[in-house]
Amino acid sequence: MKTPVVELKLPIIPNMELIATQTAEVISRHMNLTDDQNSEISMAIIEACINAFEHSKAENNVFIHFIIQDDSLVIKVIDQGIGFDKTKIAIPKIENKIGTNERKRGWGLQLIKELMDSVEFESNEDGTTVTMKKNINK
Amino acid sequence: MNDFITNIKEINSVIIIQTNGYLNNVGGEAIAEIIKDKMEQGCVKFLINMKETKIVNSIGVSILIEIIEKLQEVDGKLGYFNLAPIVEKTFNIMGLTKYSTIFESEEIALNEF
């Protein structure tokens, strides 16, 4: 059987990321994932969507693909924005943010890395694809 | 008060703010506005009841970091109770628990705060 894929197209409007979390919840139930796994996936999707909405300067839509595999759920968040240089993304530390002029934001990628089993970024001037994977513990 | 903030009360000089729904930039700003007003009145201890906030994003939580920073200037405190597991995990990843406290319940929070 062909690998099932659920595709979403989200306009860049505040809180549209919650539509993606609702879809993730349905897919998580279908895949018998735990509540914790579902929550982690939802949080990672929110952060990936916010990055796509805010930082990509994308003017079109953000696309989300949920690829349902036997041993994992793969989620791709795709924007057609200006891309980013991942070598310039610093690991955020709260110690560097409290009591300093450093901006308090910039946690999205770190959260995604912590919450998912693997994360890959492909980015160029035509856009960014974040590919996140959650393994299923059978 | 807006839809995100459903109740504000004061017990033993501790302001307890109850939230409802998604802690995003709008929710974070709503909390920040209340705490700013109360700080101007001399309050320095704040608890947030997050029982009805099951989902957050990093922008909303970053506003809590700004609040912690402002409270440090007046020797104030910020704490939370009734957190969903994913919210607690997010706070831990972002390091909020180094500068503020998660409690299991309002009663425990008020006893230890």
User: Which residues, listed in sequence order, are joined to residue B101 by a DSSP beta bridge?
Assistant: B79
**Count of Cβ atoms closer than 10 Å to residue A123 Cβ:** 17
**Phi-psi map region of A135: left, alpha, beta (phi>0 left; psi -120 to 50 alpha):** beta
Query: Is the pLDDT confidence value at A138 over 60?
Result: no
Q: How far is A69 from chain B (nearest CA, A)?
A: 24
Tokens of B33: 């506005």
Question: Where does the pLDDT of residue A108 fall: very low under 50, low under 70, confident under 90, or very high at 90 and above?
Answer: very high
Q: How far is A16 from chain B (nearest CA, A)?
A: 12
At B84, which amino acid appears?
A
Mutation for testing the B interface, residue in A100, A104, A115 having most B CBs under 10 Å:
A104
Tell me the average pLDDT of chain B: 96
**Domains of chain A, earliest start first:** 5-135 (3.30.565.10)
End-to-end CA distance of chain A: 20
Q: 3-class secondary structure for A14-81?
A: CCCHHHHHHHHHHHHHHCCCCHHHHHHHHHHHHHHHHHHHHHCCCCCEEEEEEEECCCEEEEEEEECC
**B94 — phi, psi (to 5°)?**
-80, -5
Write B10-14 long-range contacts (CB < 8 A, 24+).
B10/B43, B11/B110, B12/B110, B13/B43, B13/B45, B14/B45, B14/B46, B14/B47, B14/B109, B14/B110, B14/B113
Question: Where does the pLDDT of residue A104 fall: very low under 50, low under 70, confident under 90, or very high at 90 and above?
Answer: confident
Share of chain A above pLDDT 90, in %: 67
> B66 to chain A: nearest residue by CA?
A104
Name every chain A residue with its beta carbon within 8 A of the beta carbon of B89: 40, 115
Residue pLDDT, tens place only, B71-82: 999 999 999 999
**What is the topology classification, in CATH, of domain B5-99?**
Transcription Regulator spoIIAA (3.30.750)
Tell me the average pLDDT of chain A: 91
Q: Which position has the higher pLDDT, A81 or A36?
A: A36
pTM of the prediction?
0.94
Is residue B66 within a helix (H) or strand (E), and if so which, with residue range? helix B58-72
Where exactly are the structural domains of chain B?
5-99
Query: Is the pLDDT confidence value at A127 over 80?
Result: yes
**B40 — phi, psi (to 5°)?**
-65, -25
Tell me the C-alpha to C-alpha distance, in Å, between residue B6 and each of B2, B10, B107: 7, 14, 19
Q: Does B110 touch chain A (CB under 8 A)?
A: no
Q: Between B24, B85, B93, which is nearest A111 by CB?
A: B93
The reply to whether ipTM tops 0.90 is: yes
pLDDT at site A58: 61
Q: How far is B49 from chain A (nearest CA, A)?
A: 20
Residue pLDDT, tens place only, A7-27: 999 999 899 999 999 999 999
Mean per-residue pLDDT, A40-47:
98
User: Is residue A21 within 8 Å of residue B55, measured between CB atoms?
Assistant: yes
User: Is residue B40 within 8 Å of residue B6, measured between CB atoms?
Assistant: no
**Looking at A45-49, A82-86, B23-27, B107-111, which range is the least confident one?**
A82-86
